[in-house]
Amino acid sequence: MANISPVEYNILLDCVPPVRSMKKTPFQPLSCDIMSEERVKKVANGKININIEMKRKRDVDEQGNKQKKVHFQNIMTREEQEKKKEEKKKKKKEERKKKKKEKKKKMREEKKKKKKEEKKDKKKKKAEKKKKKKEEKKKAETRKRPLSMEGYTKLEEGGNIQKRPCLEEKRPLQLRVTSYSTHAVLGHGGFGTVMLATCSNKSQPVAMKVIHKAENRRSIAKEVRLLRMASGCPFLCHAHAAFQTKLAACIVMEYASGNSLEKFIKRTGKLKMDAITFYTAEIICGLQFLHANGIVHRDIKLDNILLTGEGHIKIADFGVAVEGMFGQKKVVGKAGTVQYMAPEVLQRRGYDAGADWWSLGIVICKMATGMTPFTSSVIHDEPLFPKCLGAEIKDLLHKVGTRTRVCP
């Protein structure tokens, strides 16, 4: 340092870089103190251009500043990106919350709609039940009245039947023996006993038929089925209830207070022509209903034709009836009462609904004369019809009384 002139010393001072901040750069000795003597000589001789070096340093400083600026900018952009991400997250959360609220609202609205629909359905069901009850009441009322026979199918010649759909069967009420109290015996038969009874809940009398189950299980089931079907015709005996015990089956039927035609004729004697035609017409209506549903009674007689208190006919006792008699189908075998049997039944040949019409002819003759139209043999003799009968009844008897009978 002693050999350097004052001018050179000033030049060296210019080479010292300015301090930017005391915090970043601690107090250090100047670079001129560290500079070697060779460098000083080069500067003095002009070999080193200080201005060029200063420019280089300035360029370096500027580049460093630029890099720092870029670095700071990158830092700022990261922060902004993070802020943007946070804002996006917040927006997404808010959107999710909104969606959840909307879903909840929709669910509430749907629940309200469902409740309203359920209320409407309940109201509709109640209204339908009321309508059904009203219809049932109307049907019950119409059953009590005499029904028209216009819709029944006609029978073909020779007793054959045109098949038609059977009526819907309505089951009688299931009750017990203790529900009824018996008062008197109305009659006895081969299948059981018929008694006068009343229900504990009602004062209206009924007829209770008690049948032993040991030997008549099939006939009991068949008779119950036919009584159910008979509810569609006012000229057939109807059933109110059916139940059983260990030994017997009980069928509760409507009570015909006028007793049977047999007892009525014994009490009053021969019937007048008006009464004969009236009863015959109602019996024909009942038989047409049975035959249209494929049923042959096989035991039409005065004992099985009952009279109501109003004077109408009720055909009863379906114990020996046959089902499914449609078309050309025939049945073989004796059934019923001998006085009323048709010749083909007695000869054990195949027969159909014509056997019932033959029995009706015997019933008509007994109503008019109190006797059968045959004197000796049903098979060989021709029937003798009473002269007091009208032309229509005689024509009917000639149709049903011939060997090749035509059904009315």
88 marked as part of a ligand binding site = no
Buried b (16+ CB within 10 A) or exposed e, 202-226: eeeebbbbbbeeeebeebbebbbbb
Conformational region of residue 312, where left means phi above 0, alpha means psi within -120 to 50, and beta covers everything else: beta
Report the candidate in 103, 99, 15, 13 with the shortest Cα–Cα distance to residue 57.
15
**Of 14, 61, 299, 356, catalytic:** 299
> Is the CB of residue 330 less than 8 Å from the CB of residue 234?
no
How many CB atoms are closer than 10 A to CB 180?
Answer: 20
Q: List % helix, strand, coil for the chain (3-state, nearest 5).
A: 50, 15, 35
Which residue bears the tokens 């010649």? 157
| Residue 237 neighbours by CB distance under 10 Å | 26
Distance CA 50, CA 32 (A): 13
Nearest CA to 322 out of 275, 290, 346, 349 is that of 290
Distance of CA 165 to the CA centre of its chain: 22
Q: Is 299 among the residues known to form the active site? A: yes
Q: Tell me how far apart the alpha carbons of residues 224 and 124 are, in angstroms, rounded to a whole number.
A: 37
The tokens for 109 are 């609205």
- How far, in Å, are 121, 125, 262, 297 from residue 307 at the CA level? 49, 43, 10, 18
Distance of CA 361 to the CA centre of its chain: 48
Tokens coding 210: 């008690």
> Which residues contribute to the annotated binding site for ATP?
209
List the binding residues. Answer: 209
Which positions are catalytic? 299
